[in-house]
Structure 1
Amino acid sequence: MHLELMNGTRLELLILNNNRLSGPILTFGPTTLRYLDLSNNFFTSFGQHPTFLPWTHLKFLDLRSNWLEGSLPILPINTSHFFISNNSLTGNIQESFCNLSSLKVLDLASNNLSGSLPRCLDNFGASLSVLDLQRNKFQGSIPKTWIKGSQLEIVNLSQNKFQGHLSRSLDKCTMLKVLDLSNNEFNDRFLSWLENLPNLQVLILRSNKFHGPIRTSKSEYMFQKLRIIDLSHNNFVGKLPLKLFGNCNAKTSKTANHLTYIQVSSTTTYRSYDEYGYSMTVTNKGEIMFYEKVQELLMVVDISRNRFVGSLTELEALDLSQNMLSGEIPQQLIQLTFLEFFNVSHNILTGLIPRGKQFDTFQNNSFEGNPGLCGIPLTKKCENSDETPSQPSISQESHDSKSPFEFGWKIVAIGYGFGFVVGVIIGPIVIARKHNWLMKTFRIRPLSRRRLRN
């Protein structure tokens, strides 16, 4: 069944989402149409290319999750909300998009669009709240100018082929909540100049070519509202500054009984509000997790696969599996008394498995795939198995400036409290036995076992 909108009516609102409508969308009449929702159907095209949509008064157009092919349609100049994600569109963003001075939401995610962004794209920056171009094939650099006083709240450019530096003019976007640049080819230093954005909650730079140390300013804390930061799979070096994580244990008045999400809501003519919600992917205990909605209470720090130096304490999950780690498992790990999940399987580790405290709770699969390991819980016994390895105290370790083990780390630390998830992923890191570093950095306080499991 195809859709044909007839002339001769004064239809202003049409909602046909979540049906089984299919075929082309025949784009003629009525010109009075203002709100059109055809999402979650099986429409295949607009019938002609390029498509000039005839609905001159159209404000809201939702074509998400169809089977649309071909190029982007040319929108009426007054369009404010345009959703066309999860289709199979090709081609680039036409220059005509720069004329949409009233555009608030532009969602082109999950298509096969390509090419570079129009240089004039910043023309509608004064009204735009959401720019979502994720999961396409865009390339080149992004516009160097963003209008001062911009209303941008969410910018998601992830999973494309963007390159070069990020323009410092983005620091004019004082309403910005989310900046997701993951899985591109940006080649730049850490974006410390974004630290003064008063509303930034999410900064994701994963899987790019960012490099160098993280510079700090004279302010007490960087990124006053930042709760989710992912710097993984880059080439950052040096020490992690305390200021970067100053808000990671910030108190909040929100409770689990009143959950709110990172989203942009706006009132339209025919509905009290229309929402665009931010979604993201993170790694939790070695598993890739997709969050269709992101709670404002969620806290995540992922700094894995860089060249940071520092040390660890009060971890709750430690995953070093499937690497090339050699030598013995350090006895100092017994002191990580909050450790609930531990996995060093499929490495080339040797020697006696540490005993005591949390290590007595780990199962065989935490150590499998290491032919040189022996001792409980494995069935392989060690020579002199009755000998219990020494357990150096924390105070003794704090005075020792050298580390007996240096290898790459892939670490996941997840904590639960106050109805939200706290995630930390760190690695590879060379340990220097400064066990108070992480506690100070992330403002960690001991949590009771009962609260950890809530």
Structure 2
Amino acid sequence: MSFCKVKELSFLDLSKNKFTETIPACLNVSSLRYLHLEGNEFTGFVLKVLSEASALVTLDMRNNNLIGRIPSWISSLSNLRFLLLGGNQLEGSIPPQLCYLKNVSMLDLSSNNLSSFLPSCLHKVLFGSKITFDDVTVWLNSYEWSSDYPLSTYSYESQLQIDPRVESYDATTDYEEQVEFITKSRSELYTGKVLKYMSGINLSFNNFTGPIPNEIGFLSDIRALNLSHNQFTGFIPTTFSNLKQIECLDLSHNKLNGQIPLELIEMTFLSKFSVAFNNLSGKIPDKKQFLTFDNSSYEGNPLLCGQLLRESCNNSSSIEPSSKPIIESDPFKDTFVWSLIASYIVAFIASFIIFLCCTDYSERLLMYVRAKFVVFSF
């Protein structure tokens, strides 16, 4: 509880411990800029006290046991740049309030129980845009414990000592921030200036459904997008051709169908690409960077074909089934035709009988029957 006496706490890193209880609700978070609680055993909901941390730049609570929904008050964190909540048990949909976090450059909600449709308003978040860095700067001064002082169990007689360089820390600057983010199928640590140019969304291993919003293709500065292991359906948006800076695009293990848009060859920086285990069909692009991807990028799509897969698109077993409509009989039309035929037959027989019985009108009836016969034949 003595944490609550700290008045200007800016950087708090308690990551990779075995804490089970959340930080005290009385903690003064008005000056808090970086909060790292990753890799503990925290339970319950996302800390409500953080709704008052308007200066927060990094919120890292990955790999805990958080439950409930992403809170709607998340929109109050207007300076947030790194929102990392992956590896928990969060559920429900992504609240539209998250779209108000325009400064976010890294969003990790992977490995949760999130579901429903993906909000199209995510394109309002400036992932990777240079505007993101105008107001929030991450400096290169590192935080560390001094090697001049041994660490020991806390007691009144011994206490942790901070490097003197950090004690002279200027409140107008920031510590060097380090953020872990999964891209290109591996976890990477981004620090300092490199961190300023990295941006990405990781929503993998959830239960999102419905089509991928076309608006996601408007995130022209994003560098990594991972939507794998969900339940997305529909087509791959052609608007993804606008992702000019993207280096990693993973859409594998979904229920996407249709063809891989040829427009994706415009993603010239793309080095990691996967649409494996979907329901895609047709010819895969065979130009530019798509010539560098191996078969693992496309496995699990038996209807895909192309030179890179050594599967001819002329092979009936490899191309998409014909979309031509199958002509089926119309019961109403058949009934009408047979009724009309029967009517003419009855009329012919009746006319013939009258012709035999009434010789006075035989000549006129004969002409009438002949006329009917001609019409029927036509």
TM class by smaller structure = 0.5 to 0.7
Name the structure 1 match of 2:289.
Answer: 247
Name the structure 2 match of 1:156.
Answer: 202
Name the structure 2 match of 1:99.
Answer: 76
| Partner SS for 1:138 | strand
| TM-score, length of structure 1 as denominator length | 0.50
- State the 1:312 CA deviation: 5.2
Q: Deviations over 1:268-325 (max 9, x none)?
A: xxxxxxxxxxxxxxxxxxxxxxxxxxxxxx98951011120234589xxxxxxxxxxx
Kept in 2: contact 1:232–1:303 (CA 8 A): yes
- CA 1:127–1:312 in 2, change beyond 3 Å: closer, same or farther? closer
Task: Report 1:185-264 matches (<5 A).
Answer: 185-217=231-263, 221-243=265-287, 246-248=288-290
Task: Report 1:366-377 matches (<5 A).
Answer: none
- Point out where structure 1 has 5 or more consecutive residues left out of the alignment: 7-27, 251-297, 315-397, 407-428, 431-454
- Residue 51 of structure 2 corresponds to residue 55 of structure 1: no
Kept in 1: contact 2:210–2:231 (CA 8 A): yes
Task: Report 1:80-91 matches (<5 A).
Answer: 80-91=57-68
- Residue 43 of structure 2 corresponds to residue 69 of structure 1: yes
| TM-score, length of structure 2 as denominator length | 0.59
CA distance in 2, matches of 1:161, 1:215: 24
CA distance in 1, matches of 2:291, 2:69: 42
Output the amino acid matched with 1:247: Q
- State the 1:148 CA deviation: 4.9
Name the structure 1 match of 2:104.
Answer: 128
- CA 1:224–1:32 in 2, change beyond 3 Å: closer, same or farther? same
CA distance in 1, matches of 2:64, 2:210: 28
CA distance in 2, matches of 1:63, 1:163: 30
Q: Deviations over 1:99-143 (max 9, x none)?
A: 11110000001111111111121101x210100000000011122
Runs of at least 4 residues off by over 6 Å: none
RMSD between superposed Cα atoms in Å = 2.8
- CA 1:33–1:173 in 2, change beyond 3 Å: closer, same or farther? same
- State the 1:222 CA deviation: 2.6
Kept in 1: contact 2:16–2:37 (CA 8 A): yes
Q: Deviations over 1:51-81 (max 9, x none)?
A: 5753211000000101111111131121110
CA distance in 2, matches of 1:215, 1:185: 20
| Partner SS for 2:304 | strand
- State the 1:151 CA deviation: 2.9
Name the structure 1 match of 2:14.
Answer: 38
- Residue 96 of structure 2 corresponds to residue 119 of structure 1: yes
| Partner SS for 2:297 | strand
Kept in 1: contact 2:219–2:242 (CA 8 A): no
Task: Report 1:355-370 matches (<5 A).
Answer: none
Name the structure 1 match of 2:150.
Answer: none
Name the structure 2 match of 1:305.
Answer: 300
Output the amino acid matched with 2:306: G
CA distance in 1, matches of 2:105, 2:309: 40
CA distance in 2, matches of 1:59, 1:312: 49
Kept in 2: contact 1:230–1:302 (CA 8 A): yes
CA distance in 2, matches of 1:304, 1:119: 35
Output the amino acid matched with 1:108: L
- State the 1:175 CA deviation: 1.6
CA distance in 2, matches of 1:94, 1:148: 19
Output the amino acid matched with 1:308: L
Output the amino acid matched with 1:134: S
CA distance in 1, matches of 2:278, 2:123: 29
CA distance in 2, matches of 1:84, 1:300: 36
Kept in 1: contact 2:73–2:97 (CA 8 A): no
- Residue 215 of structure 2 corresponds to residue 175 of structure 1: no
- CA 1:313–1:249 in 2, change beyond 3 Å: closer, same or farther? closer
Decide which structure has the larger Cα Rg and report it: 2
Kept in 1: contact 2:218–2:242 (CA 8 A): no
Output the amino acid matched with 2:45: S
- CA 1:149–1:135 in 2, change beyond 3 Å: closer, same or farther? closer
CA distance in 2, matches of 1:149, 1:78: 18
Kept in 2: contact 1:200–1:226 (CA 8 A): yes
Output the amino acid matched with 2:118: I
- State the 1:149 CA deviation: 7.3
Q: How many residues align?
A: 244
CA distance in 2, matches of 1:169, 1:175: 13
Q: Which has the higher helix share?
A: 2
CA distance in 1, matches of 2:46, 2:125: 28
Kept in 2: contact 1:29–1:55 (CA 8 A): no
CA distance in 1, matches of 2:298, 2:315: 23
CA distance in 2, matches of 1:313, 1:171: 27
Output the amino acid matched with 1:183: H
- State the 1:166 CA deviation: 2.0
Identical positions, percent: 28
| Partner SS for 1:42 | coil
- CA 1:52–1:193 in 2, change beyond 3 Å: closer, same or farther? farther
Name the structure 1 match of 2:147.
Answer: none
- Point out where structure 2 has 5 or more consecutive residues left out of the alignment: 129-198, 320-378
